[in-house]
Structure 1
Amino acid sequence: MLIAFHVTARLMDMTTSATTATGAWVEASDCDLDAFRAQVTRETDPADYPMASDVRQNVPVYSAGAIAQRDRRALQAELIRALADGPGVVAFEGAFDHDVVDAASEALTAIIDAQRAEGSVAGDHFGKAGANDRIWNAAQKLALHAPEVFADYYAADALALVCEAWLGPRYQVTSQVNVVNPGGGAQVPHRDFHLGFVDPDQLSAYPAHVHALSPALTLQGAVAHCDMPLESGPTMLLPHSQRFTAGYVAFYRQEFIDYFADHHVQLPLSKGDAVFFNPALMHGAGANTSTDIRRMANLLQISSPFGRAMEAMDRTAMVRAIYPSLLGMKAAGRSDRDLRNVVNATAEGYAFPTNLDRDQPIGSLAPPSQVDTVLAALADGFTPAALDTALTAHGERRIP
């Protein structure tokens, strides 16, 4: 009970400190490197994580084989504490059996080969199309391509343990497979979905309590599909950096990028190992400096089932209906703010979920949302017919 109270109190403190210590908004002045340094220059005390088998590079490491012998609730409370108030990242040795990983790797390689044969080259947020091998929506593709392999893979209890700990039951799994070939470059340090994918010029529009709560909506994970020694470029991590509320804005700043370069850690992994981390943890894929390791990882993004509206609405039909009125408002001299208010109340404002094979985030962290499409149409003076064409194309890119 004391553990549960501590974790709950810490999560509440994360939200209240965001609105009282620095104000209701995250300002440029909050991106203080000295304050950031004070948060991250700390050691992870093994005594705080008694169920871990080891602490390496400030990361608690657990044995997946020992899960059945542990008190599940107590172990989950320890994981919550590590992800929220501790280093922000945990690792599980042997999370996935080798034969299960090998079967999944074979199936996923077949999917990559089929993509190549079709001339479909997937790009991502940080790499040019063709630089690495990427499978968007890998969970669905694996389920359809090899359902028995999918079932064996996602039966892994280490995955369920940490997902239930951070998000509760009925969590939703998505995944993207990334194969970084020899010579593949490192990513820039970043935070992840949701606010981690918001453009920096928009971040300040979100109040500080949203910056603090966003990490509680998702959990990030990576499953090693091959041995990953340091030269293969396992994920670069900055333990404890998830505690810095201004981090979504700060990770775009050069001084924070430089600090990350000098102080990050990397945890070598064996095939079947997995790491899970708070999406606010500053991280990035490392450079593959090997000559012969095709570093394959299944990048897991697990979401809370609660992040959605109560009612299902046909927002495309709504946009088509009101667009002539928007053109009339613009012609009458109504302000850009008025027009934007109407569009925000009508169109889908978020780029996700989408079909990332068709709607790839090349050159940005996210493809354009329906709101972006409508605002651009208004700015360019699209006719209703031209907007209809743009909306149809936007919708077709998002079809599963």
Structure 2
Amino acid sequence: MTRQHWLKTEDCNLDDLLRVLDDHTDPSDYPTAARIEQEVVVYDSGSVREALAAGRGGEIQEEIYRALADGPGIVVLTGAFEDDVVDRATDAFNDLILQQREDGIKSGDHFAKPGANDRVWNALEKLAVEHPDVFVDYYDNDMLALAATSWLGPGYQVTSQLNVVNPGGAGQTVHRDYHLGFQSPDVSSQFASPIHKMSAMLTLQGAVAHVDMPVESGPTLYLPHSQKYELGYLAYWRPEFQDYFVAHHIQLPLAKGDAVFFNPALFHAAGTNRTNDIRRMANLLQVSSPFGRAMETVDRRRMSEALYPTLLDRLESGLTQERVDRVVAASAEGYAFPTNLDRDQPVDGMAPPTQADLVRDALAQRMTSEQLGKTLAGLEDRQQTR
């Protein structure tokens, strides 16, 4: 019997990709967008916020989802983060980089050698624990929440890796991202074709520009619409596809505070920093569906306890519940499973309370930090097997 639902490397054909790339971004599909630039849907965050305030959130979510799934696979939100918030986070990230150097840690990434650039893995947890006030202001961001919920729905899980490409830093080869994007073709070919489609639905890739990024500084290269090529997880390893990407990619400059979000199946690669004076700093965001596995291990109880006093203070100062919820969504576990259902029973519904539910309840009741700690410890204990 022919294995019709399994993809084979030998079936990868550049002409098939080119037919996919014949698609063009139709501006009429994105009425809220400021413009279409090199096939990419670009939104002005100020205009998006006005539309959200006017009750058009559902329409904008539909646009973003359409762009990521059936359109170019990428959206840019200009001015998503305020300059002063970005600057404070940049200072905090530089502190983390300095601490790593003093500790003798040389962090490499998937492509660069250790020490060539500056990488802070699990920058999410490290920022929350070391600089909770900065974390709250940074992740109280409506554009991040909008993009994440548009693609993944509620309960999403943020992870973050700070990446600095120093002057002269080399770029990457074309690739797709996590999950199947981090597997070899031999491994990926063992999964039926529906898994190839599903892999891209489980994460949202993003990046926040912490400095102005002209093209010569090497902002990410993209091949719009390439996420729709079914064999892409097998194809990007092949020389003819890599050569085509080098010759036909697009590259958008970014300003400090801009955010870009893209489908992880989009063909992309970091560019080479050809400047002598720009440390290209980006906070790379990998946002995971609650139904998938995130790439990094994050201690969300530790983060929640570290952030709680700041969140209490901000509530007393008038921070709205909506803004608090964004921070909780970016830090606490938003999904109830896996758990031990003998001990963590779904008494009032189909699922027991999540860690995020407990943090929100604690804030509403103005629990002390000690009370929250006991509450989260109790949840952690109930979730363990005996």
TM normalised by structure 1 equals: 0.72
Question: Partner of 1:33 in structure 2?
Answer: 14
C-alpha distance in structure 1 between counterparts of 2:65 and 2:217, whole Å: 29
Aligned to 2:129: 144
Q: Give the distance between the partners of 2:22 and 2:164, measured in 1 at CA.
A: 32
Alignment of 1:69-218 (within 5 A): 69-70=50-51, 71-218=56-203
Cα distance between partner residues in 2 of 1:29 and 1:39: 18
Q: How does 1:1-400 map to 2 (within 5 A)?
A: 23-70=4-51, 71-307=56-292, 352-354=295-297
| Residue 42 of structure 1: how far off its partner (Å) | 3.1
Q: State the shift of 1:352 in Å.
A: 4.8
- Computed over aligned residues only, the root mean square deviation of the Cα atoms, in angstroms, reads 1.5
Q: Moved runs in structure 1, 4+ residues, more than 6 A? A: none
Q: Distance in 2 between matches of 1:36 and 1:237?
A: 14
Q: List runs of 5+ in structure 2 lacking aligned partners.
A: 299-386
* Aligned mates of 2:103, 2:136 — CA distance in 1: 27
Shift of the alpha carbon at 1:29? 3.5
Q: State the Cα distance separating 1:307 from its structure 2 match.
A: 2.1
User: Structure 1, unaligned stretches of length 5 or more?
Assistant: 1-19, 309-350, 356-400
Q: Give the equivalent residue in structure 1 for 2:319.
A: none
Residues 295 and 353 of structure 1: is their aligned pair in 2 closer, same or farther, counting only changes over 3 Å? closer
User: 1:353 and 1:229 mapped to 2: Cα distance?
Assistant: 30
Q: 2:178 touches 2:295 (CA, 8 Å); kept in 1?
A: no
Show the counterpart of 2:363: none
Offset at residue 170 of structure 1 (A) = 1.3
Deviation, 1:354, is: 4.3
What SS is found at the alignment partner of 2:174? coil
Mapped to 1, the partners of 2:236 and 2:94 lie a distance apart of: 33
Identity of aligned residues (%): 57
Q: Give me the whole-angstrom Cα distance separating, in 2, the residues matched to 1:154 and 1:44.
A: 30
- Point out the more displaced range, 212-221 or 40-49: 40-49
Per-residue deviation at 1:43? 2.5
1:102-149 Cα offsets, whole Å, 9 max, x none, are: 000000000000000110010111010001000000000010111010
Paired AA for residue 115 in structure 2? G
Query: Quick check: 2:42–2:76 contact (8 Å CA) kept in 1?
Result: yes
| CA drift at 1:47 | 1.8
C-alpha distance in structure 2 between counterparts of 1:353 and 1:151, whole Å: 21
SS in 2 for 1:90: strand
Q: 1:167, 1:35 → 2: CA distance? A: 29
- Could you report, residue by residue, the CA deviation over 1:151-205 in whole angstroms, capped at 9, with x for unpaired residues? 1000110000010000001110001010000001110010001010112221110
The alignment of Structure 1 onto Structure 2 pairs a total of residues equal to: 293
